[in-house]
Each structure stands twice: as C-alpha cells, then as structure tokens.
Structure 1
Amino acid sequence: MTRTTPPRPLDVEALFPELAAHRGTTTRLHPRPGSPGVSDSSVGGPLLWPVDEPWPVCTEPHRRGRGRRPADIHRARRVLATAWARDPASGPTEEERRLLTELGREHRVAGIEDTDPLPMIGVAQLYRRDVPDLPAGPDGCDLLQVFWCPFDRHGRTGYGMSLRLLWRRSWEVDEVPATPPLPEVVGYEGYVAEPCVLHPEQVVTYPFAGLLPEELEARIDAWEEALEEEAEAAEAEMDYDEEGEDSGGHGAGHDAGHEAGHETEPPAYQYDLSIPPGWRAGGFASWHLTDPSPMNCLACATPMELLLTISSSEWDGGSHSWMPQEDRDLPGRLRSAAPTKVTVGRWGLLNIFACPADPGHPHRWSIQ
C-alpha cells in the first residue's frame, strides 16, 4: 500500500514568498511491517551482503555479555501486538503477561571479553532506484546499508552510539549468507528493528527556522506568536460561553468542551509546514533539541548535507498533520506511529550527514 502525505494546513510560501528560494525535497520512507527480501529497500530486513565478505563488527571496548536476546524481543512484540489487537481494553492475558516477563529477562553470555568482535545489527538498506532523494554513492554505488552496535557504550562519554554506513554496487553481489551474524544479546531493545517494507514518497520541505535568514525567521516567529494569541483568545471565549450555558457553572460544560476536541493547536512552521517527521532521505535536518551545529566534512571541510534521518516516530505526538491518509483510515489498534520499534536518542531522532564533494568521505551524525 502506498502512503500519501496530506496537503499542508496552509500554503507557507503564500505567507512568506521568500521561502520559495529555500524550497527542497525529501523522501519519506514510510516503513511499515512486512516481509522484505534482500533485493528490497527495507528497515530491519535482510541485507544484500556478499557471502565471502566479513560482516561488520564492533571492537570498541565496552561490556557486551549481558542483555536481551533479539529473538525474545521480536517475540515479545508479537505477543503484545496480538493481545492489543484482540482486546484493546484489557490487553494481555495473565498467561501472556507471564510470557512477556520471561521474554523480558536479561541473559549473560559466558566467556565474552569487552573487546571481542561483536556483530553489528543491520538496520536498513536503501536502493537508489527506490529513493529519489538518496544521493549517489562513491564510485557508482547504488545501495546504502546502515549498521549499528546494539549497545550504548562508545566514545569519550561512554554513552554514545556506534554507527557504520557502507555503500556497494548491488549488481556485484551474487550470493548472500543463509543466516547473517547476530549478537547473542543486545543492550537496548530500541536498536532491534522490526522487518519493514518501504513506501517512498517525495515531498516538499523547507529548512529549519534557525537556519533561515534572520529577518525571515523573525517574521515567522511573529506570525506564530500571533496565531497562538488568537487561539488562546478563542479558547477563552469558548470556555466562557460554555460556562454560561452550563447551569452548574464551571463544570460539565467546561469538560464537555475539552472532550469534544475544541482545543486545536494552530499550525506551526517547525511541526506542520517545514520538516516532516519519520524516516526519510535527503532534505533538511531538524535541530529542535539543540541549536544548529555546523556539520563540515572532517576530510575536506565541505559543508555536509543530510543523507538520512532515522526516527522513532512517523508522526508527532502533538500534531498529526503529517500522518499519511492511508494510516488515518486504519482502525486505531492497527495504526502505529512507531512501526519499526526503533528508538534513538532522547527525543528519538538521528540525522546522518554525507559529504557532497566526495560521498566516500566519513559520515557524521547528530542525535536530536
């Protein structure tokens, strides 16, 4: 099934014509549960990996002998999904709860050292033929593959992630391993993705507000403040009218108004008009957690461009304006904003950057 992003709540270029000069595109990947193959672009699916090529491993020193089994994580998710689909009100049965407790146990791997090679997890692979905004790889490579270590114990702070991106020419791969390597245990279940097929969709996007010209950013800020003031005034007037109609005063009428959904947030540049949430390729990075940080190539100092965004959520909790139309039509129990089950960072978003001068140069990333 395709995924279609609804039209934006308003035409932002009609309000701010200068934005036309900054307009770009990004490809929303729209991962949804499925059974991808090695020849498909996917999240959490099997990778087109040569049988005679060593699998990526993490050798950075950190504890790696205690955690949850990947198979247990997948099974627990299936149990929960079945339970909630069967009975959204009650959820898992007592027997299912006992099973979930067992599947949630951590296990120890005997005899593993802190620097023993640890198989990294294949997170995603993207074929350029499927993703319009995926840039060309080095030396004609057409397939991007993403790996990470399933433990958060890297870098100077001891809490950073370890990420590896590899490009390859897909037509050069003849045979793939029957069973790719997997770590026996993982330190964090959010690094274990559920198999998802992709439904790429190219949409218009605009830069993060803090990277726009100062005068334009100031005008957008003033416009948003005015909308918020109007919304607050309208809500106050509505509450006053409801209190007047309710013979009980400030009580049933006030609650009814809120339950009826009278409170609606006005459209915001950041959350509704510029950068879509979810997994996507190309476009502009969001810097909603930190101030914009220069991302220059460490090899040649060229300003880098957004390659890929890995996100924990396909649409924002505060605004559903980016929810695809096809998902809106699904029953609530079948609609999930987190189909991949991947969780990254404090707010669940990882931006990966590539050098436009030489895509073979090392990538950089930022967690938001």
Structure 2
Amino acid sequence: MKTPRTTPPRPLDVTALFPQLAPLARTVTRLHPRPASPTPTPRDSSVGGPLLWPADEPWPYCDRLHTWDGMNPILSPDDVRSQRRIRAAVDSRLRVDPNLPPSAYCTPEERAELDRIKAGRPWPEGPVPLLPVAQLYVRDVPGLPAPAGADLLQVLWCPFDHPPENFMPRTVLFWRSEATITDVLAAPPEPPAVQFDDYVPEPCLLAPEQVTEYPHSLELSMELRGQIEDWSSWQAAEPAVDDAYASYPQEFYDTALSVAPGWKVGGWAPWGLTDPVPRSCPACATEMVPLLTIATFEWDDSTRSWIPDEAAPAPTRPTAVQIGRGYKQQLYVCPAAPEHPHTELMQ
C-alpha cells in the first residue's frame, strides 16, 4: 500500500441545500493508484500488478476472434513497457536540459530498441492469455462485496476489443480466499500481442480511501433535478458556489458534489456518455450495483476539486490505461450473489 491520500472536503454540504439527497448517499472507495518502486507483489492490492494465482490452476485465455487494423505495429506487453521506460528516460533528460537537441534524446541502444519495436511482431494465432488488471484484497478495500468465504478479487482482461459487442477490453473476474493459496504461479503467460498499448496497465500500488457520493443528476427524480438546475436554489451557498455556474449549476453538482472521478470500488455510476441504463443480473434479474470503475483519468479540469491533498503534482493517468476516447469502463455485480456473471458498461 502507498502513502494515504486525502480527498479535500467538498465545497459545501449538498444535503443541507437538498435534504432529499441524504438517503441516497453511498460510500465509495477511491483506489488512488500510483506507480511504485518496488513494484507490487502478489500479496498486494494493485492495478496491473502480479496476481496471487494458484500454481495448479490454468491461466485464463480468450478464445474469441482477434483482429488487427493493420495501421499500427503489433506490440507485445514487453514492447509497451520498453517504450514507456525509454519515454521516461527521455523526459528525465529533458527536465535536466530543456535545450537538448533531438539527436540526443535517446541513446544508441534506445534508438535500436525503438526501431525494433516499430518493426512490429507476427500476428498471434490461437487463444490469447489474459492480462491482470486489478487485484483487490478485502482487508484493503472495505465494502468490497465478496461472496461468502472470499477475501480477494482478481480482474483480468483480453487486451483486444471485440466488436460489435465491445469496444473495450472484455473482463473476467475471480473471487478467491487468500488462505487457500500456498503455491503461487511464478511466471504466468502473457499475450503475444495487444491491440493498444493503453490496454497494458502500468503496475501501481493503491492508497484506498472512502468518501461519500451522491447520484449523478441524470439519476435523480425530475423534481429534485429541477431544483438542482435552478440557480436560485444555490444562493444560500454563496460564496462556496462560483457565480460562473449560474447558467448551469447542475454541472457544479455533477463535477464537485456527486460522483468522484478515477479508479474506485462501489459508489454511483458516472453517467454522461449515455443516459442511465438499468442493469439487471443475467442470472437472477436483481438490480446490479457498481463494482469497479476503471478510469482513464484520475481527474481532469472539471474535477480538480477531487485531487487528493498529497497528490500534486501526480500524473492524471498513472495506470496508463485509456478506455475509448478517455472514458471509463464500469463493472457491475449482483449484490445478492457477487459470484453471478458481471456486466460491463462504458461511460
């Protein structure tokens, strides 16, 4: 685990202005992933780190059809990691000497490695091993809705889109009991290729923090939404609410008071790309709840009030993951039986 992160207090107590929101409050665990040295171990909660995978259990593969657009070189996960190391080295040199000529950005060995990567690899044939995305221990993530007897969630994905159903990686969940795993798989297989380098998570340790969320305005009743969209309802909160929001106070509610950005467990859905869509368990029809939000960004210009006090000047995309054009991939789980099949949604 990393140094704790502290989300600043919200600009105001929104339930004081809109008491109807109080019973809709949900606790969400912000994961606050950050690249770490040393890197995560199988006994850590992490994003993109090694899994506590039983040595005697087969590693999961995706046996669906995988296609390539032919526009980009075919890269392996190791190619992606090598590119990132070289970019980090170049950035470090430029911080020391901003006037460094382009010919000195890379060492000869780095240029040779980049040329090799640019040449690409052969197209993979057959099933593709899945990549670790997240590993979450209940001891680190309070409220993780684990099935009875489980205290560990592992999330893997296929690093390819599978249109027309999915234009994001397809995820697989495993619930486990840590105590039952004594022999850990030392060298799990990796896919020979990935569709996008954004589908290779950078290994990150977590600093989980619980905060309170309220529903996105699109999930509120028409009456309450109307109140939130009425600037006069906010007058009692001045100067906490900037007059710049006078024409669209609902945006202030959505970005600063309702749904936290970034990677998180639980909470409310970050609607906006689409209107709210009911999520029913495919096994028992129970209404599903958010399990894990896989976010492109930890925050952006509209959600800067959520930046942890200890974070600056931390990167906004520490995991190096990008979903679509900068969206979020949200996994939903059945609250009655978390072991039932999960569902996914891009927002």
Q: Give TM-score scaled by structure 1 length.
A: 0.82
The one of 186, 203, 221 equivalent to 1:195 is 203
Structure with max Cα Rg: 1
1:79 and 2:86 are equivalent in the alignment: yes
Q: 1:232 to 1:174 in 2, by over 3 A?
A: closer
Is it true that 1:45 corresponds to 2:49 in the alignment? yes
Q: How far apart are 1:266 and its partner, in Å?
A: 10
CA–CA separation in structure 2 for the residues paired with 1:142 and 1:341: 27
Matched, 1:142 2:151: yes
- Name the % identity: 46
Q: Kindly report the root-mean-square deviation, in angstroms, between the aligned alpha carbons of the 2 structures.
A: 2.7
Residue 124 (structure 1) aligned with residue 140 (structure 2): no
Matches within 5 A, 1:318-329: 318-328=302-312
1:31 equivalenced with 2:33 (yes/no): yes
Show CA shifts across 1:253-302 (max 9, x none).
Answer: xxxxxxxxxxxx99711111111100000111111110000101111111
Paired residues of 2:288 and 2:332 also in contact (CA < 8 A):
yes
Identify the residue that residue 298 of structure 1 maps to in structure 2: 282
Shift in Å, 1:176: 1.4
Preserved contact between residue 213 and residue 268 of structure 2 (Cα < 8 Å): yes
User: 3-state DSSP class of the match of 2:41?
Assistant: coil
Q: Distance in 1 between matches of 2:90 and 2:143?
A: 38
- Give the length in aligned residue pairs: 328
Amino acid at match of 2:301: G
Aligned counterparts, 1:6-17, within 5 A: 6-17=8-19
Contact conserved, 2:266 with 2:292, CA < 8 A, in 1?
yes
Task: Measure the CA separation in 2 of the matches of 1:128 and 1:364.
Answer: 21
The CA deviation at 1:179 is 1.2
Residues 47 and 135 of structure 2 are in contact (CA less than 8 Å); yes or no, is this contact kept in structure 1? Answer: yes
Report the CA distance between 1:185 and its aligned residue. 1.6
State TM-score, norm by structure 2. 0.87
Q: What are structure 2's unaligned runs of at least 5 residues?
A: 236-240
8 Å contact 1:83–1:93 — kept in the other structure? no
Deviation larger for 218-227 or 338-347: 218-227
**Is the alpha carbon distance of 1:133 and 1:91 closer, same or farther for their aligned partners in structure 2, counting shifts above 3 Å?**
farther
1:18–1:92 Cα change, 3 Å = farther
Aligned mates of 1:26, 1:327 — CA distance in 2: 19
From the superposition, tell whether residues 224 and 160 of structure 1 become closer, same or farther in structure 2 (CA, over 3 Å): farther
Q: 1:341 to 1:355 in 2, by over 3 A?
A: same
Unmatched tracts of structure 1, length 5 or more: 234-264
1:283 is matched with 267
| Distance in 1 (alpha carbons) for counterparts of 2:250 and 2:214 | 19
> Does residue 60 in structure 1 map to residue 69 in structure 2?
no
- Contact 2:33–2:207, Cα closer than 8 Å, also in 1: yes
Letter in 2 for 1:338: R
With over 3 angstroms needed to count, the CA separation of the structure-2 counterparts of 1:203 and 1:121, relative to structure 1, is: same
Tell me which residue corresponds to 1:217.
225
